A = this chain, B = another copy of it.
Amino acid sequence: MIGDLMMDSNAPLARLVRRLERYAPLPAADRQAILALPAQVERIGRGRRLIDEGQQDHAVMQLLSGYACRYGLLSDGQRQITGVFVAGDVLGVRSGDLPIAAQTVSTLSDVELVKIPHTAIAALAESRAAIARALWNESILDANMACDWIVSLGRRDARGRVLALLQELTARCRDAGLTIRDSLILPLTQEEIGDATGLTSVHVNRTLMALQAEGLIDRVGRRVTLLANRPPAAARMLSA
């Protein structure tokens, strides 16, 4: 809950700069402006809500470590995870005109994050076109990933969905430098994998065991290793 020492507080914002420069460099002045943002580093435990649906004043956050997810609830209490966030990802990005959070975001593990008041970010986006564009990029990528998720849920069977989820997480953890040869620590319970893939935890369990029996994945405790590097092969289940 307590921010780190002052001298450390610039490091996380440097990471935000790196993130926002993924696709296009920022003017030096914009970089400085980001580094000068009021920011707070927090450590938060597993299973805590970061942003609530309908919340108006939520901050912009960047995950420094750990996992989080966004989800929606149905009236009968069923939960569907609509996106998983890994270290480096930015949460709560939105333009100034849509103050309402559309979905809930919650942690999937203990996390570290930087928190920035949305007013400060909004002011920056208002005056600096390159920053606005970089944040806009985040929204677009978010929408693109959501579309891939839709395709997976709509047209793949349990095996394909779980595989696709593992592949997406592996790829994103690799980008974040969190993997060792396609091996990553997956803090999700099978229940949560089910919430992400639209399956029950029971069926997730059977699917994971089947994938392991097929030699496509290896599991040791919470560490999962992807042994098949062929995304297209995942969709071909005629051999099963």
Contact = CB atoms under 8 A, between A and B. Distances in A.
Interface of A: 23-24, 70, 72, 74-76, 78-83, 94-98, 100, 102-103, 125-127, 129, 132-137, 139-144, 146-151, 153-156, 195, 197-198, 232-233, 235-237, 240
A26 to B, nearest CB: 11
B137 A70 contact: no
28 contacts: A24-B96, A72-B150, A72-B151, A72-B233, A74-B151, A74-B155, A74-B156, A74-B235, A78-B155, A80-B150, A80-B154, A81-B154, A82-B146, A82-B150, A83-B147, A98-B141, A98-B237, A98-B240, A102-B144, A103-B144, A126-B133, A127-B129, A129-B132, A132-B133, A132-B136, A139-B140, A146-B147, A146-B149
A190 to B, nearest CB: 15
Nearest to A230: B75
B75 A155 contact: no
Residue picked from A95, A100, A149, A235, most chain B C-beta under 10 Å? A95
A6 to B, nearest CB: 31
A111 to B, nearest CB: 21
A76 B235 contact: yes
A140 B82 contact: no
Given A80-B151, A82-B147, A23 B74 contact: no
B236 A140 contact: no
B147 A75 contact: no
A154 B151 contact: no
A147 B95 contact: no
A198 B75 CA distance: 21
A232 B83 CA distance: 21
Residue picked from A70, A133, A148, most chain B C-beta under 10 Å? A133
